[in-house]
Chains A and B, each alone.
Chain A
Amino acid sequence: MENKAEVVIIGAGINGCALAYELAKRGKEVVVVEKNYIAYGATGRCGAGIRQQWATKENALLAKKSVEIFEKLSDELGYDIGLRQGGYLIAIHDEEGMEQAKKNVEMQKSIGLPVRIIYEDEIKEIAPILDPKGMETIAATFCPTDGHANPFKTTYAYAIAAKKLGAKIYKFTEVKDIKVKDGKVKKVVTNRGEIETKYVVNAAGAWSKEIAKMVGIEMPNKPVRKEALVTEPLKRMFDCMVISFKHGIYFSQQEEGQILGGIPSPEEKVGYYMEPTFSFLKYMAYMLGKYAPPLKHVSILRQWTGFYDVTPDALPILGETSVEGFIQCNGFSGHGFMIAPMTAKLLAQLICGEKLEMPIDRLNIERFKGEITEEKAVVG
């Protein structure tokens, strides 16, 4: 392993690998260290969705600019990422929801997203499998350019492209310590050797809090266990992701035909708990039956867990810290996959001293010292 690098990225999830690519493209010497294997954490366990319909402008912009990159990514990286844009259909259940939806749509339209409010007839037209009564919905918002991509393929696409440009990715390499001298990062100590460096990027997802402790930074993030399940493959029935902020449910039909989805589990708790629960399986099955009654006859093949790396405002933590050279790239709170392409680009611009395409000051960790505006459009 190298004993020197310009940038060491901790974590080979989607954000770590995308950043490695963006930095390598700019000629930086990059080493990525990963405790397990590529996409072991949240990336490889996520719902694969790409949504631009957010309640905060920061998230909506990051997602919109990421979609613009996603649309060209298979060509750029020379690897099919399995992108499909079937839209996101977000259920509205009551007057309160409608009010919030109208506000969201107005903001989303102002940044150029093709979002609109649709009613029962159109909901049935877009996804005939849905039962608006069972969903207890009065309308929905729909954005046709939302969609999903294959998280494994996307992460490997970035990782392979980064390696071709000279980046090194070391799996099964655990960070034990980070040495700081005179307020600057100096060295990353791993179980396989030490790497001298100027920049350390903390892209360790649910474990980023533990990494930050090594340089004396306390983070407000919490690891929260989330569960998902997948059914047997079926012929194509609908193209959109269906979600509800009120119920927290999300589900879509993936490339191979399986239905994949999740909902906050009745036993959801904070901490590093990996066990899948029976109560999730039962609750998700019950809600799927209500949302899409024909699915009652479909078999569930598998359930698993992963972590959301949740911040107090559900917005990511990006950028510089009080320790020079220690860069945050975490706190994605359940939507790290969908905003990774733009996040990586911005952090690469920051590290390389370029002009940033959009400001990220409001996503700096220092914001938690003041008043925060919470992202409310969260599911799963």
Chain B
Amino acid sequence: MKIVCRCEDITEEDIIKTIDEYGCETLAELKQLLRLGMGYCQGRTCLILAAKILARKTGKTLDEIMPSFRPPVVPVEIGLIGGEDGE
């Protein structure tokens, strides 16, 4: 068993099975179906690994299958960013 996404506990088998079953062509679809890359690290470890699996399965280039970037770059506390007065 090869773990690809540690935050959401997703294996290589899970990814291959989902691509086959749903006909996924992009990482965004794998995110929807598996929560891949939606955990604490925001895909820093797993997205590139999953992208390579998907590229291998679909023959697409990495550019075609990468999802949009969603800020913030690192997790940030609500109290820290929101402050006390909204300014």
B83 touches A281 (CB 8 A): no
Contact with A along B60-87 (1 / 0, CB 8 A): 0000000010111001111101111110
**Taking the complex as formed, is A67 at the interface, i.e. its CB lies under 8 A from any CB of chain B?**
no
**Taking the complex as formed, is B35 at the interface, i.e. its CB lies under 8 A from any CB of chain A?**
yes
A285 touches B25 (CB 8 A): no
> Known: A285-B81, A299-B76, A300-B75. Contact between A40 and B42, CB under 8 A?
no
- On chain B, the residues within 8 Å of A38 by CB distance are 29, 32
A342 to B22, CA, bound (A): 26
Give the A-B contact count at a CB cut-off of 8 A. 87
* B71 CB, nearest partner CB in chain A, Å: 6
- The number of chain B residues with a CB under 8 A from chain A is 28
* B47 CB, nearest partner CB in chain A, Å: 13
Contact with B along A286-300 (1 / 0, CB 8 A): 111100000111111
- The number of chain A residues with a CB under 8 A from chain B is 35
A156 touches B33 (CB 8 A): yes
CB nearest to A288 among chain B residues: B78
- Would you call the interface of chain A mostly helix, strand, loop, or mixed? mixed
* A300 CB, nearest partner CB in chain B, Å: 6
A304 touches B70 (CB 8 A): yes
* A101 CB, nearest partner CB in chain B, Å: 26
**Taking the complex as formed, is A1 at the interface, i.e. its CB lies under 8 A from any CB of chain B?**
no
B32 touches A296 (CB 8 A): no
Residues of chain B in range 39-70 having any CB-CB distance to chain A below 8 Å? 39-40, 42, 68, 70
- On chain A, the residues within 8 Å of B85 by CB distance are 286
Q: Which residues of A contact B (CB under 8 A)?
A: 37-40, 44, 152, 156, 171-172, 231-233, 256, 274, 276, 278, 281-289, 295-304
What would 11 A/B residue contacts be, using CB atoms closer than 8 Å? A38-B29, A171-B25, A281-B72, A286-B82, A289-B84, A296-B78, A297-B78, A299-B75, A301-B39, A302-B70, A303-B71
Beyond A38-B29, A286-B82, A296-B82: 20 further Cβ-contacts under 8 Å?
A: A37-B25, A37-B28, A38-B32, A152-B33, A156-B22, A256-B35, A281-B81, A284-B82, A285-B82, A286-B83, A286-B85, A287-B82, A295-B78, A296-B77, A297-B79, A299-B75, A300-B72, A300-B77, A301-B75, A302-B38
